[in-house]
């Protein structure tokens, strides 16, 4: 098959939501419909040993939440689908932000009872900034929840998305009868039996036919006719070009836990979702159809298999083909590298692949050569941008709790920081190590993983820091900059890449420092972009 036809066959997307909206369950059911798994494992309680397929880290199974992005690939109707299931918990948002650089479209999952939640707003904002096409899936229709029209209004107001429903619920909760599919013009009847993989679907071209009342009852039939008429009056007709330009967002309703509405979502998705798209690099726009390979590292994961202590760099292929045992140029280190066992993913299951195409995610065994954001090419000197580190919100000193395991602790911290679990800073004054995280739960994850994956133990000490800012002096030799370094010496540190960082203990301190030293720029993102000032 030619490169062009392989690219057309691929759909790479991320699933995002607030915690507990049913994102991981939806991922499971998409795999189920795709025939990739035979049975879904619902993450219901910590007592259930069998967790969801995409939650493979031990701590995820214990807590019943996703703390790392997992990659799952399967074939469906002659297409290759790549799903990136992301953590919903806000403490792991940075992993999700980075993952959004590797997807061509997104499905946002919203709980019918809770509506749009805070974390969903932040994630959709990133999608909007990057103009990623978004499909909305309103989940848990078998439970009592908000009115469908109220939810659609809420999505438009809070997420600033222009929506158009492609399916509509018939009742809700106890009265839930099924879904009318505006996309395929059929009715999907709800039986409430989650063991059934495929629900009964009945073609119904004309809603005014008497068949509708026979299927759902006269009252529900009349209400559906009214609501569908209202939908057609209020919301624009679906336009694929507008969706691809991130100007219109289709909405589907269903219940992932009950396998309901998932097939409709998947079938519409494979028809409308974009194939791999061009990506901007430091020097030019790179087209997937180009023959020469290029790709970038958007995630690093250590110890996917604790028995083998393996560390994998996740690479999104942007252009050309990635071939096993072929030498590629690692732009940052200026070295050529060969990979004898590149992996394709199915959660923690991996298989070696000989050739991969744009849109695919490959896992490369890494001995410490890669950092998040690294670019691989066939020799061209370019880098893919847009994978910055954000200023953390929580800071703690990290101490060694077992002096006999110093080397293990050092190695563990080093690898976990490369993964992007958190950020490591070293104080200029005394060399003490500081961990900065987006959320407090990450400290617990670091402690757990250090002990269980590296046999090292750590303890923490509180540190009062409001924000870490990357500093950029207009003139590093100026008297003003020298004065700044003298006055603020105990608040200065270096990040893992050796960049200078200023720890502000309050917003007032940061404001006063900016006023006193106007020739120094303070950035809240490690990649200095004009809009990224603190």
- How confident is the model over 284-330, as pLDDT tens digits? 999 999 999 999 998 887 655 555 456 788 899 999 999 999 999 99
- Which residues neighbour 11 within 8 Å (Cβ) at sequence distance 6 or greater? 79, 80, 81, 82, 104, 105, 269, 270, 273, 274, 275, 359
- DSSP lists the bridge partners of residue 60 as none
How far apart are the C-alpha atoms of 320 and 328, rounded to whole Å?
A: 12
- DSSP 8-state secondary structure symbol assigned to residue 263: H
Q: Which pLDDT score, from 0 to 100, does residue 530 have?
A: 36
| Statement: residue 48 has pLDDT above 80 | no
How far apart are the C-alpha atoms of 523 and 525, rounded to whole Å?
A: 5
Q: DSSP labels for 281-316?
A: BSSSEEPTT-SS-EEEEEEEEE-SSTTTT-EEEEEE
Q: Which pLDDT score, from 0 to 100, does residue 41 have?
A: 47
Confidence of residue 508 (pLDDT cuts 50, 70, 90): very high
Where does the chain hold its CATH 3.30.70.3280 domain(s)?
394-532
How far apart are the C-alpha atoms of 175 and 82, rounded to whole Å?
A: 35
Helix axes 262-272, 23-33, angle to 10 degrees: 80
Percent of the chain scoring above 90 in pLDDT:
37
How far apart are the C-alpha atoms of 212 and 138, rounded to whole Å?
A: 24
What is the value of pTM for the model shown?
0.75
Q: DSSP labels for 374-409?
A: -EEESS----B---PPBPPSEEEEEEES-GGGHHHH
How far apart are the C-alpha atoms of 120 and 123, rounded to whole Å?
A: 5
Q: Which pLDDT score, from 0 to 100, does residue 98 have?
A: 76
Q: What is the 3-state secondary structure (H, E, C) of 494-532?
A: EECCCCEEEEECCHHHHHHHHHHCCCEEEECECCCCHHH
CATH architecture, range 394-532:
2-Layer Sandwich (3.30)
The average pLDDT across 216-233 equals 86
Q: What is the pLDDT of residues 354-378, one digit of tens each?
A: 899 999 989 888 877 888 888 999 9
Question: Over the chain, what is the mean pLDDT?
Answer: 82
Q: Which pLDDT score, from 0 to 100, does residue 195 have?
A: 45
Contact by Cβ (8 Å): 168, 228: yes
Q: What is the pLDDT of residues 139-181, one digit of tens each?
A: 998 888 899 999 999 999 999 999 999 988 888 888 888 888 8
Contact by Cβ (8 Å): 337, 323: no
> Kind of pairing, strands 249-253 and 134-139?
parallel
Where does the chain hold its CATH 3.40.50.300 domain(s)?
3-272, 280-377
Q: Which pLDDT score, from 0 to 100, does residue 124 have?
A: 87
Q: Which pLDDT score, from 0 to 100, does residue 68 have?
A: 45
Q: Which pLDDT score, from 0 to 100, does residue 66 have?
A: 40
Q: Which pLDDT score, from 0 to 100, does residue 347 have?
A: 47
The average pLDDT across 70-88 equals 79
How far apart are the C-alpha atoms of 233 and 227, rounded to whole Å?
A: 10
- DSSP lists the bridge partners of residue 297 as 315
Q: Which pLDDT score, from 0 to 100, does residue 153 have?
A: 94
Percent of the chain scoring above 70 in pLDDT:
83
- Which residues neighbour 455 within 8 Å (Cβ) at sequence distance 6 or greater? 405, 408
| Statement: residue 435 has pLDDT above 70 | yes
Q: Which pLDDT score, from 0 to 100, does residue 37 have?
A: 59
Query: Quick one: which of 415, 486, 489 has its CA closest to 446?
Result: 415
Q: Which pLDDT score, from 0 to 100, does residue 387 have?
A: 64
19: alpha, beta or left, given left = phi > 0 and alpha = psi -120 to 50?
beta
| Statement: residue 518 has pLDDT above 50 | yes
Q: What is the pLDDT of residues 469-499, one digit of tens each?
A: 999 999 999 999 999 999 999 999 999 888 8
Domain covering 3-272 in this structure, CATH number: 3.40.50.300
How far apart are the C-alpha atoms of 201 and 187, rounded to whole Å?
A: 6
How far apart are the C-alpha atoms of 153 and 138, rounded to whole Å?
A: 13
Superfamily of domain 280-377: P-loop containing nucleotide triphosphate hydrolases (3.40.50.300)
Picking from 49-63, 129-143, 202-216, which range would have the lowest pLDDT averaged per residue? Answer: 49-63
Name the most confidently modeled range: 68-72, 247-251, 307-311, 400-404. 247-251
Q: Which pLDDT score, from 0 to 100, does residue 64 have?
A: 44
The average pLDDT across 15-20 equals 81
């Amino acid at each position: 098959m030619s490169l062009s036809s392989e690219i057309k066959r691929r759909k790479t997307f991320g699933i995002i939501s607030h915690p507990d909206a049913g994102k991981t369950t939806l991922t499971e059911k998409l795999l189920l419909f795709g025939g990739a798994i035979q049975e879904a494992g619902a993450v219901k309680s910590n007592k259930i040993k069998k967790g969801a397929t995409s939650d493979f880290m031990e701590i995820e199974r214990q807590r019943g939440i996703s703390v790392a992005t997992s990659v799952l690939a399967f074939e469906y109707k002659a297409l290759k689908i790549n799903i990136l299931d992301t953590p919903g918990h806000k403490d792991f948002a940075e992993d999700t932000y980075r993952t959004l650089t590797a997807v061509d479209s997104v499905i946002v999952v919203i709980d019918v009872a809770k509506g749009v939640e805070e974390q969903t707003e932040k994630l959709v904002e990133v999608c909007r900034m990057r103009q990623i096409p978004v499909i909305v899936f309103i989940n848990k229709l078998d439970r009592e929840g908000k009115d469908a029209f109220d939810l659609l209004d809420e999505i438009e107001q809070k997420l600033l998305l222009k929506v158009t429903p492609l399916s509509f619920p018939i009742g809700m909760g106890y009265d839930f009868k099924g879904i009318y599919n505006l996309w395929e013009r059929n009715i999907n009847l709800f039986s409430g039996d989650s063991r059934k993989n495929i629900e009964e679907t009945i073609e119904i071209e004309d809603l005014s036919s008497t068949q509708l009342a026979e299927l759902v009852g006269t009252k529900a039939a009349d209400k559906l006719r009214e609501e569908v008429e209202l939908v057609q009056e209020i919301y624009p007709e679906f336009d694929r070009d507008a969706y691809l330009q991130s100007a219109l967002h289709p909405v589907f309703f269903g219940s992932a836990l009950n396998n309901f509405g998932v097939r409709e979502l998947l079938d519409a998705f494979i028809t409308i979702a974009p194939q791999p798209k061009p990506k901007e690099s430091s020097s030019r726009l790179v087209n997937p159809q180009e023959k020469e390979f290029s790709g970038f590292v958007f995630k690093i994961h250590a110890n996917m298999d604790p028995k083998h202590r393996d560390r994998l760099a996740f690479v999104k292929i942007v252009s050309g083909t990635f071939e096993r045992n072929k030498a590629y140029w690692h732009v940052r280190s200026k070295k050529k590298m060969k990979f004898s066992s590149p992996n394709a993913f199915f959660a923690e299951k991996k298989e070696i692949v000989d050739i991969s195409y744009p849109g695919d995610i490959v896992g490369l065994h890494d001995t410490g050569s890669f950092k998040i954001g690294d670019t691989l090419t066939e020799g061209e000197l370019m880098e893919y941008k847009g994978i910055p580190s954000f200023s953390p919100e929580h800071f703690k000193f990290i101490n060694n709790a077992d002096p006999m395991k110093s080397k293990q602790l050092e190695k563990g911290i080093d690898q976990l920081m490369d993964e992007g679990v958190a950020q490591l800073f070293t104080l200029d004054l005394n060399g003490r190590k500081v961990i900065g995280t987006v959320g407090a739960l990450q400290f617990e994850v670091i402690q757990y993983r250090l002990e269980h994956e590296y046999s090292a133990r750590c303890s923490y000490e509180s540190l009062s820091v409001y924000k870490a800012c990357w500093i950029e002096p207009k003139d590093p030799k100026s008297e003003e900059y020298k004065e700044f370094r003298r006055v603020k010496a105990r608040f200065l540190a270096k990040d893992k890449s050796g960049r200078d960082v200023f720890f502000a203990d309050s917003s007032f301190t940061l404001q006063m420092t900016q006023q006193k030293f106007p020739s120094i720029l303070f950035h809240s993102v490690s990649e200095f972009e004009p809009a990224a000032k603190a």
